[in-house]
Structure 1
Amino acid sequence: MQKNEIAVIEIEDMGAGGEGIGKADGYTLFVKDAVIGDVVEVKVMKAKKHYGYARLMKIVKPSDQRVAARCPEARRCGGCQIQEMDYQAQLAFKNRKVRNHLLRLGEVPEELLDRVMEPVCGMEEPFRYRNKAQFPVGRDREGNLTAGFYAGRTHSIIPVPELDCLLGAKENQKILRIILEYMKEYGVEPYDEESGRGLVRHVLLRKGFSTGELMVCLVINGRKLPRAEALIGRLKEIPGMTSISCSVNMERTNVIMGSEILPLYGKDYITDRIGPVKYQISPLSFYQVNPVMTEKLYGAALEYAELTGSEVVWDLYCGIGTISLFLAQQAKQVYGVEIVPAAIEDARRNARINGIENAEFYVGKAEEVLPDYYARYEKETGRSARADVIVVDPPRKGCDEALLETIVKMQPERVVYVSCDSATLARDVKYLRGNGYEVRKVRAFDPFCQTVHVETVCCLHRVNS
């Protein structure tokens, strides 16, 4: 097919990014915003030799899986790639994606997957689940102050104060309106990326779902907020308002947060709980955005670890110690490793406030800390270092091969792999299966409803003694 050609196709499958896949006379087309079962009219926008990308022009016959998007800007925003798909169909799509990756990339036998793969875990209410949002502040085409989200692949702001984002906390819309009213009243300018002028760049909002505590942090291109007391006076009237601050970011950069936090009101953190564990969350803290699903996901990781109270556990890529502190409730000793120093400070503080004394944390790259520890232990004792259980929760790129090599050398009885990218999970599972481990349990989780993203927990047992 050629660019700008029109075709009517039936969507037969979906790609990893949520795009519909159909064929026109045998030629494969990827179509954004199309759902399996849709019959659609499309226009080819980019044509390659064996496949192309097309724009959805008209839905000729809607799929049984298609539903009306609750957000009128779902397509333009792009944050909810599959909001027009029935939620049960979303779960089936994500489960199928994890399974296919393990089957094709991980080379896990289909009959084994049939035995070990547990049903996908979704949410009862797949909206209003995000406890964190970051909103750019700017002006619209008419010059009016606005804040919201960037439209897909642009820096054009979709205004949240008027529309509301249905993934975030209900309070977000009111807070943004108050901030914009304050800026308009006192002549506080939004930051302009091209000129580098203006003050307010972003607004970070967080909510502790278990406590109801709210945090507001304005990212500013300066060190002072004019008439801050006027803004504070309005914000603190909102029930749950606990922390108001500014983050100083005077760099010409796309990085949102600055490293310096200036407190304006209340505490410099909010608190939240995941299960029985309490966490203090600062503006710069990493913290899971869906605490309801996180409790289920980490509960599965704890279950898969099969701890009896006598195990030594390593938790790699531990962040602020969320999984570590879960594991410490049932392990003899937990060692957490994370490259971000501030996250390790948070982890140590969270261990203290929960009275957990059997968790230690180290700053460094997991792929360097664990091999260094193994080599040093072997040199000092003449024995190989051992771990009963190793838990990994790596970034999307998965585990470094040097880390996987060291895991195999340490011969843990169980490896629990928490993954945000099932493709790299599958790659790493293939390595571990080739080096004495076998998959015992797998389950997909949906902390990011309405999007294509999926989390997976996979447990592998050592089979070679």
Structure 2
Amino acid sequence: MIEMTKKIVPVQKNEYYDVKIESLTHDGLGVARVDGFPVFVANALVGEEINMKVTLVKKTYAFGRAVDYFVTSGERVKPECGIYKQCGGCQVQHLSYEGQLKMKHDTVVNHLKRIGHIEDANVLPTIGMQNPSRYRNKTQVPFGYADGKVVAGFYQKRSHEIINMQSCLIQTDISDQIVETMRQLCQELEIDPYNESLNLGVLRHVIVRVGFKTEEIMVTLVTRTHEIPNSELLIQRLVSKYPKIKSIAQNVNPKVTNVIFGDETRILYGEPYIYDEMNGIRFAISPRSFYQVNPIQTETLYSKAVEYAQLSGNEIVFDAYCGIGTITLFLAQHAKQVYGVEIIPEAIEDAKMNARLNGFENTQFAVGKSEEIIPAWIENGIVPDVIVVDPPRKGCDRSLLDTMLEAAPDRIVYVSCDSSTLARDLRVLIDGGYKLEVVQPVDMFPQTAHIECVAKLVRA
């Protein structure tokens, strides 16, 4: 009888090891090896020689943190944020911005090769920002108690402990000010923040949205309860101090959940929308609208999608996962007709309103699953020249990919917020008869490990 021997893991938790960092993961962790065993190390860069402490050991890999640096990378910079090491919001602030852009390019290339088995993809250099800070138009901050005081900030890495924040370098300055004012008002007006472990308290999150072009502000208070103590005085203080607030909404979420929003939203003050502009198009934004958080780079990303669609003004375009119609209206400026489909009814209502707001008469929207709506359109004689998809992080459903292949448009433009699922889906489309011409990474989220891409495929 052969005796099975258990493979010995060469590292132990809480032990220290001298290592050299070989590469970076897609989420910005350094990769070191101890006797061939991979360890993912926070706050470590390629080429650095360090002493690390192992913090977690799994069967096939471990995590560690850098304790001492013997050799440091020329790409290392000092993070400007005082709570960077504790906060989980940014992952690569210790890497130079040029280094971040290269890391994100390499991530896309590696995903295409490893997951999509696409060896020769034309992946262009990442398009970055001239000023990679203060770029987010949306701030959502959890509130809680710590040492008897109200705190507002972001969750510590891999925990639900809130790190109190005075300033966040990727949020707008006005958003920081409003969050701090809300923290003070909660203390003064006795509005209890939410206690997650006991499911008690009132205020769970404060969400601030800012129109970059219009400077209009919407504040949404996510509460456990319908009642907000001293709500009239709260609204009066906020609007008096920040006159650019055009809307204050309340969303009620009584559930024990990590999901931020509940089902019920009502307007406490002002209008149900604020407005912003991109590419000369005006958009109405409601408390729960999906609207890209970096409008500067969104214009870059969506303009690239329009370029790859190669529109002459005579094309029929399908826009799957159209949301509130952002890409749809970018496309409608150059196409004969654009059909948008989205599964969320409220988003489609917003999309129709945005089309009316801008006087577009060459758009049509439908609620439902793309893989069901698109075949119905085709059966009715509407045949697409171009299909554009901008799916959530999980990528496209396989049934939608099959639907796209059956529709056989001349071009497919795939906008992606996750290059791993992009690589998986591109493999299906390539095997289905399309040629991948180009992939353009765009840095929508500087200081973080996230990367957006737009890919162009043509029928082979």
Which TM-score applies when normalising by structure 1?
0.93
CA drift at 1:258 = 2.4
Aligned pairs (5 A) from 1:19-418: 19-48=29-58, 51-110=61-120, 113=121, 116-140=122-146, 142-160=147-165, 163-236=166-239, 237-374=241-378, 376-377=379-380, 386-418=383-415
2:11 to 2, 6, 12: 2
Q: 1:239 to 1:61 in 2, by over 3 A?
A: farther
Distance in 2 (alpha carbons) for counterparts of 1:30 and 1:411: 43
Q: Does 1:457 align with 2:460?
A: no
* Matching residue of 1:447: 444
Give the conservation status (yes or no) of the 8 Å contact 1:132–1:204: yes
Instruction: Please give the secondary structure, in 1, of the residue aligned with 2:428.
Output: helix
Structure 2: gaps of 5 or more residues: 1-9
CA drift at 1:170 = 0.2
- Counterpart amino acid of 2:148? G
- Counterpart amino acid of 1:270? I
The one-character-per-residue Cα deviations of 1:88-138 (angstroms, maximum 9, x if unpaired) are: 00000000111122233223242xx3xx33221011111101111111111
- Counterpart amino acid of 2:347? A
Q: What is the root-mean-square deviation in Å for CA atoms of aligned residues?
A: 1.7
CA drift at 1:49 = 5.7
Give the conservation status (yes or no) of the 8 Å contact 1:128–1:166: yes
CA drift at 1:430 = 1.2
- Counterpart amino acid of 2:309? A
Give the conservation status (yes or no) of the 8 Å contact 1:137–1:200: yes
- Counterpart amino acid of 1:6? Y
Q: Does 1:430 align with 2:420?
A: no
CA drift at 1:216 = 1.0
Distance in 1 (alpha carbons) for counterparts of 2:132 and 2:335: 33
Q: 1:177 to 1:424 in 2, by over 3 A?
A: closer
Indicate the larger mover: 200-209 or 249-258.
Answer: 249-258
Distance in 1 (alpha carbons) for counterparts of 2:265 and 2:393: 28
- Counterpart amino acid of 1:386? V
- Counterpart amino acid of 1:459? K
- Counterpart amino acid of 1:393? D
- Counterpart amino acid of 2:169? L
Instruction: Please give the secondary structure, in 2, of the residue aligned with 1:98.
Output: helix
Give the conservation status (yes or no) of the 8 Å contact 2:278–2:295: yes
Which TM-score applies when normalising by structure 2?
0.94
- Counterpart amino acid of 1:72? G
Give the conservation status (yes or no) of the 8 Å contact 1:133–1:168: yes
CA drift at 1:372 = 4.4
* Matching residue of 2:6: none
Instruction: Please give the secondary structure, in 1, of the residue aligned with 2:432.
Output: coil
CA drift at 1:75 = 1.8
CA drift at 1:388 = 0.1
Distance in 2 (alpha carbons) for counterparts of 1:250 and 1:102: 42
Q: How many residues align?
A: 449
Give the conservation status (yes or no) of the 8 Å contact 1:182–1:230: no
Structure 1: gaps of 5 or more residues: none
- Counterpart amino acid of 2:178? I
- Counterpart amino acid of 2:75? Q
Distance in 2 (alpha carbons) for counterparts of 1:352 and 1:15: 44
Give the conservation status (yes or no) of the 8 Å contact 1:37–1:64: no
Distance in 1 (alpha carbons) for counterparts of 2:262 and 2:398: 33
Q: 1:52 to 1:155 in 2, by over 3 A?
A: closer
CA drift at 1:222 = 2.3
CA drift at 1:233 = 2.3
Instruction: Please give the secondary structure, in 2, of the residue aligned with 1:362.
Output: strand
Distance in 2 (alpha carbons) for counterparts of 1:358 and 1:124: 35
Distance in 1 (alpha carbons) for counterparts of 2:329 and 2:114: 34
Distance in 1 (alpha carbons) for counterparts of 2:162 and 2:310: 47
Indicate the larger mover: 63-72 or 194-203.
Answer: 194-203
Give the conservation status (yes or no) of the 8 Å contact 1:419–1:456: yes
Distance in 2 (alpha carbons) for counterparts of 1:2 and 1:442: 39
- Counterpart amino acid of 2:50? V
- Counterpart amino acid of 1:222? T
Distance in 2 (alpha carbons) for counterparts of 1:51 and 1:316: 38
Distance in 2 (alpha carbons) for counterparts of 1:423 and 1:245: 36
CA drift at 1:451 = 0.8
CA drift at 1:25 = 4.0
Distance in 1 (alpha carbons) for counterparts of 2:157 and 2:133: 20
Give the conservation status (yes or no) of the 8 Å contact 1:371–1:403: no
Give the conservation status (yes or no) of the 8 Å contact 1:337–1:365: yes
Distance in 2 (alpha carbons) for counterparts of 1:5 and 1:139: 34
The one-character-per-residue Cα deviations of 1:274-302 (angstroms, maximum 9, x if unpaired) are: 11111011111111000000000000000
Q: 1:54 to 1:252 in 2, by over 3 A?
A: closer
- Counterpart amino acid of 1:177? E
Indicate the larger mover: 409-418 or 183-192.
Answer: 183-192
Indicate the larger mover: 427-436 or 338-347.
Answer: 427-436
Q: 1:107 to 1:135 in 2, by over 3 A?
A: same
Distance in 1 (alpha carbons) for counterparts of 2:184 and 2:52: 43
Instruction: Please give the secondary structure, in 2, of the residue aligned with 1:323.
Output: helix
- Counterpart amino acid of 1:29? V
Distance in 1 (alpha carbons) for counterparts of 2:433 and 2:197: 55
CA drift at 1:436 = 1.5
Instruction: Please give the secondary structure, in 1, of the residue aligned with 2:19.
Output: strand
Instruction: Please give the secondary structure, in 2, of the residue aligned with 1:43.
Output: strand
